[in-house]
Chains A and B, each alone.
Chain A
Amino acid sequence: MKTILAFRESEYAWVHEKFPCVHPLLLPLCNKPFIEFLIDFAILAGSSAVRILCDGGLGEVERYCEDGSRWGIDLSYASIHPDDSIHAMLGKNRKFCGEERVMIVSGFSFIRYDKRYDYKSFVSSMPPGEWSTCPGGRITLTGVPTKAVPDWLIADLSLMPLDSMTSYYQASMETLKTGESRYVLPGYGDEPECAFGRNVVISKSVEIRKPVSIGNNVQLLGNAIIGPSAIIGSNVIIDRESSVESSIVFDNTYIGEHLEIIGRIASGNRLNDPKSGASIAMEDPHLLSGIKKNRHLRSLPRKIVHACVALVIIAAFFIPFIILWPLLKLGGHWKSSPASFLAERTDETMPLAKVEVDASGAAAAIAVALSLDRYFRLFRVVTGQLALIGSTPLLAGESRPDAPAYVPAYLPGVFSYAEAEEWAATGGDATIVERFHLAHSNPLTDIGLVIKAFINRFQEKSTI
Chain B
Amino acid sequence: MTITETSKIGIAILSLYGTLDALSAPELRNNRSIIDPEKTVVIDLQQVDFIDSSGIGAIVSASRQKRQPSGGIVLACMNDRVRKVFEITNAQKLFHIFDDTTAAVDFASSRQSASA
Q: Which residues of A contact B (CB under 8 A)?
A: 55, 57-59, 77-79, 81, 91-96
Contact of B107 among A77, A79, A91, A95 (CB under 8 A): A91
Among residues of B, the one whose C-beta sits closest to the C-beta of A91 is B103
A53 CB → nearest B CB, Å: 10
Tell me whether A59 and B92 are in contact (CB under 8 A): no
**CA of A92 to CA of B101, assembled, Å:** 10
Contact of B93 among A55, A58, A92, A93 (CB under 8 A): A55
Among residues of A, the one whose C-beta sits closest to the C-beta of B103 is A94
Tell me whether B97 and A78 are in contact (CB under 8 A): yes
Beyond A92-B98, A92-B103, A92-B107, 14 additional pairs, beta carbon < 8 A: A55-B93, A59-B87, A59-B88, A77-B83, A78-B97, A79-B86, A79-B87, A79-B92, A79-B93, A81-B93, A91-B106, A94-B98, A94-B102, A96-B99
Q: Given A57-B87, A57-B90, A77-B83: A95 and B97 within 8 A (CB)?
A: no
Tell me whether A92 and B87 are in contact (CB under 8 A): no
In the complex, whether B38 has a CB less than 8 A from a CB of chain A is no
A92 CB → nearest B CB, Å: 5
Chain B residue contacts of A91, Cβ below 8 A: 98, 103, 106-107
8 contacts between A and B (CB under 8 A): A57-B87, A57-B90, A58-B87, A59-B87, A79-B93, A81-B96, A91-B98, A92-B97
The number of A-B residue pairs with CB atoms under 8 Å apart is 41
A56 CB → nearest B CB, Å: 8
In the complex, whether B100 has a CB less than 8 A from a CB of chain A is yes
B70 CB → nearest A CB, Å: 8
Restricting to B70-116, which residues have a CB under 8 Å from any CB of A? 77, 83-84, 86-88, 90, 92-93, 96-100, 102-103, 106-107
Among residues of B, the one whose C-beta sits closest to the C-beta of A77 is B83
Chain B residue contacts of A95, Cβ below 8 A: 77, 99-100, 103
Q: Which residues of B contact A (CB under 8 A)?
A: 77, 83-84, 86-88, 90, 92-93, 96-100, 102-103, 106-107
A254 CB → nearest B CB, Å: 32
Among residues of B, the one whose C-beta sits closest to the C-beta of A67 is B80
Contact of A92 among B83, B90, B99, B102 (CB under 8 A): B99
Chain B residue contacts of A59, Cβ below 8 A: 84, 87-88
Q: Given A55-B93, A91-B107: A78 and B87 within 8 A (CB)?
A: no
B68 CB → nearest A CB, Å: 14
Tell me whether A92 and B96 are in contact (CB under 8 A): yes
Among residues of A, the one whose C-beta sits closest to the C-beta of B90 is A57
Chain B residue contacts of A92, Cβ below 8 A: 96-99, 103, 107
Q: Say what secondary structure dominates the interface of chain A.
A: mixed
Which of the listed residues A55, A77, A94 has the most CB atoms from chain B within 10 Å of its own CB?
A94
Chain B residue contacts of A77, Cβ below 8 A: 83
Chain B residue contacts of A94, Cβ below 8 A: 98-100, 102-103
Among all A-B residue pairs, the 3 with the closest Cβ atoms: A79-B92, A95-B100, A94-B103
A179 CB → nearest B CB, Å: 36
B58 CB → nearest A CB, Å: 19
Chain A residue contacts of B86, Cβ below 8 A: 79
**CA of A326 to CA of B11, assembled, Å:** 71
B62 CB → nearest A CB, Å: 18
**CA of A95 to CA of B92, assembled, Å:** 19
B9 CB → nearest A CB, Å: 16
**CA of A78 to CA of B84, assembled, Å:** 10
Chain B residue contacts of A96, Cβ below 8 A: 99
Chain B residue contacts of A93, Cβ below 8 A: 98-99
**CA of A78 to CA of B97, assembled, Å:** 8
**CA of A58 to CA of B106, assembled, Å:** 27
B94 CB → nearest A CB, Å: 10
Chain A residue contacts of B77, Cβ below 8 A: 95
Chain A residue contacts of B93, Cβ below 8 A: 55, 79, 81
Among residues of B, the one whose C-beta sits closest to the C-beta of A9 is B93
**CA of A79 to CA of B98, assembled, Å:** 9
B115 CB → nearest A CB, Å: 17
Among residues of A, the one whose C-beta sits closest to the C-beta of B70 is A81
**CA of A96 to CA of B103, assembled, Å:** 12
Chain B residue contacts of A55, Cβ below 8 A: 93
Among residues of A, the one whose C-beta sits closest to the C-beta of B102 is A94
Tell me whether A78 and B88 are in contact (CB under 8 A): no
A55 CB → nearest B CB, Å: 7
A89 CB → nearest B CB, Å: 11
Among residues of A, the one whose C-beta sits closest to the C-beta of B95 is A79
B14 CB → nearest A CB, Å: 19
**CA of A81 to CA of B70, assembled, Å:** 11
**CA of A95 to CA of B93, assembled, Å:** 21
A253 CB → nearest B CB, Å: 29
**CA of A77 to CA of B78, assembled, Å:** 11
**CA of A235 to CA of B4, assembled, Å:** 53
Among residues of A, the one whose C-beta sits closest to the C-beta of B98 is A92
**CA of A96 to CA of B99, assembled, Å:** 7
Among residues of B, the one whose C-beta sits closest to the C-beta of A81 is B96
Tell me whether A78 and B90 are in contact (CB under 8 A): no
B63 CB → nearest A CB, Å: 14
**CA of A96 to CA of B97, assembled, Å:** 13
**CA of A57 to CA of B88, assembled, Å:** 8
